[in-house]
Amino acid sequence: MTHLKVINPNTALAMTASIGRCARAVACPSTVVTAVSPSMGPESIESHYDEALAVPGVLAEIAAGEREGVDGYVIACFGDPGLDAARELAAGPVVGIAEAAMHAATLLGRGFSVVTTLSRTVGRAWDLAHRYGFAAACRGVHACDIPVLDLEDPAARKTVTELCVAAVERDGSDAVVLGCAGMADFAAEVSEETGVPVIDGVTAATKLVESLVTLGLRTGKRGEYALPRPKRYSGLLRDFTI
């Protein structure tokens, strides 16, 4: 049995439930998927401030997962908050949804478009495309200007779908990457309307982590991703002392 922990770094529990359903829909029958939100943090992540303050909650969930013997983790927010720090804490693989979706997109076509939430998140998506080595394949990042928690509204699905169709046309893309975990259940519909593969990072990261665990591959612990050196943490962060 493989135990995967899918961490929604925001505290919106309805979104966590939807993320869990999407991950379970693609996981093998022998894989147990636990979907969680941290006990502290922002209710949605759509700024650098939100992202920075989401990271302690994500790391607390990774630390708890290590005590529970979790085999691998998905960080289910498109900014991939705390990814490197999570890898330092975890023995098993940790994959972010932006990272997984961009990797998958480049296996399916030459160029992809990202459709994200607010305009202010466009820069972060580009930062990640550069970081992961996919800046040349990323043909455009487009914002629907719908806040994360409003994606549940049925009208949002239509707006996102229309933007994806326009993005494929404008960018000449071969694939679309959905830029928010709140769009996880949009992929089939958007794919039908655009006629191109549409990658939701939650499902892509779930299958990627599951594959790495099946292959017996774990996070490299020799250097940068070794457990952090023990030291005191003070104030609100005192419980983060290793």
Among 44, 173, 191, 219, binds ligand 2AL (CB under 6 A): 44
Q: Which amino acid does the sequence have at 109?
A: G
Site for ligand 2AL in 183-242 (CB under 6 A): none
Residue 23 phi/psi, 5° resolution?
-65, -45
Beta strands in the chain (DSSP E): 2-7, 31-36, 72-75, 94-96, 112-116, 138-143, 175-178, 198-200
Q: How far is the CB of 96 from ligand 2AL (least distance, A)?
A: 10
Specify the stretch interacting with ligand 2AL by CB under 6 A; choose among 19-27, 30-38, 62-70, 173-181. 173-181
Q: How far is the CB of 237 from ligand 2AL (least distance, A)?
A: 22
Q: Does 16 bind ligand 2AL (CB under 6 A)?
A: no
Q: Does 117 bind ligand 2AL (CB under 6 A)?
A: yes
Specify the stretch interacting with ligand 2AL by CB under 6 A; choose among 22-30, 55-63, 114-122, 213-221. 114-122
Beta bridge partners of 115: 142, 178
Q: How far is the CB of 100 from ligand 2AL (least distance, A)?
A: 12
Q: Which residues of 15-51 are buried (b: 16+ CB within 10 A; e: fewer)?
A: bbebbbebbbeebeeebebbbbbbeebbebbbeeebb
End-to-end CA distance of the chain, in Å? Answer: 29
Q: How far is the CB of 157 from ligand 2AL (least distance, A)?
A: 16
Specify the stretch interacting with ligand 2AL by CB under 6 A; choose among 16-24, 64-72, 179-187, 209-217. 179-187
Q: Does 38 bind ligand 2AL (CB under 6 A)?
A: no
Among 77, 104, 176, 205, binds ligand 2AL (CB under 6 A): 77
Alpha-carbon dihedral angle through residues 197, 128, 216, 72, given to the nearest 10 degrees: -90
Beta bridge partners of 143: 116
Cβ(203)–Cβ(186) below 8 Å: no
| Closer CB to ligand 2AL, 2 or 47, in the complex | 47
Query: What is the contact surface with ligand 2AL in residues (CB under 6 A)?
Result: 10, 44-46, 77-78, 116-117, 121, 148, 179-182
